Chains A and B, each alone.
Chain A
Amino acid sequence: AQTVTQSQPEMSVQEAETVTLSCTYDTSESDYYLFWYKQPPSRQMILVIRQEAYKQQNATENRFSVNFQKAAKSFSLKISDSQLGDAAMYFCAYTGDDKIIFGKGTRLHILP
């Protein structure tokens, strides 16, 4: 069965610094998709970034980038130049084979 593991329940980072959130997953599929979603306090969950498993190039969206290592089944999120608005719960998600699995989340605190 597919699983998604986020090993860091909480993290803190100084404003303007860089932070990396980890995510590992397990699947026997070769074709799948990976996502990072952000849930700010009392606000709707939104997509941060996504990756297709067959693409080797790491996805990038402005200050957000991923380190996708397919063989290691790792999909970490790097946030550069952290801003106060980045404070949120971040969920890693796997989808494929008619399933979607979310990790338990990492709460990110931004220290001013």
Chain B
Amino acid sequence: DVKVTQSSRYLVKRTGEKVFLECVQDMDHENMFWYRQDPGLGLRLIYFSYDVKMKEKGDIPEGYSVSREKKERFSLILESASTNQTSMYLCASSLAAFSYNEQFFGPGTRLTVL
């Protein structure tokens, strides 16, 4: 059974803290994605990676960075968390990016920044 896991389901952080969200997939997929999901806005792509150590900006990269040191792991980093980054964060992976291949999603991390 294919799996994408995320390190936390719920996270509460304070403004200014550095936050790490971890995502691991066991499908040997080349491509991994980070989205944020907000009510009324749907999913918006933050960053994606098509290979180890490679990253590309999505539609809303400001305030975020990513790291992909191993194929199976893709981390989202909030260098200095702000209240407007309170959101649901979804990780996904796929065999090929922007193609017919479906994306497999993790359960999400609901981040609250106080």
Contacts and interface: CB of A to CB of B under 8 A. Distances in A.
Contact of A45 (B40, B99, B105): B105
Interface string B100-114: 101101111000000
Nearest to B4: A44
Contact of B43 (A9, A33, A47, A91): A91
B102 A44 contact: no
Task: Classify chain B: how many residues form its interface, as a range.
Answer: 20 to 34
A64 interface: no
Nearest to B100: A33
Tell me which of B40, B43, B108 has the highest count of chain A C-beta atoms within 10 A of its own C-beta: B43
Contacts of A104: 40-42
B-side interface mostly: loop
Contact of B45 (A9, A33, A100): A100
B90 interface: yes
Interface in B2-53: 4, 33, 35, 40-45
Interface residues of A, number: 25
Given A44-B107, A46-B105, A103 B98 contact: no
Given A104-B41, A104-B42, A50 B102 contact: yes
Contact of B98 (A4, A44, A52, A98): A98
A9 B102 CA distance: 24
Contact of B100 (A45, A52, A93): A52
Contacts of B44: 102
A64 to B, nearest CB: 14
A99 to B, nearest CB: 7
Contacts of A52: 100
Q: Which 3 pairs show the lowest CB-CB distances between chains A and B?
A: A102-B43, A104-B42, A45-B105
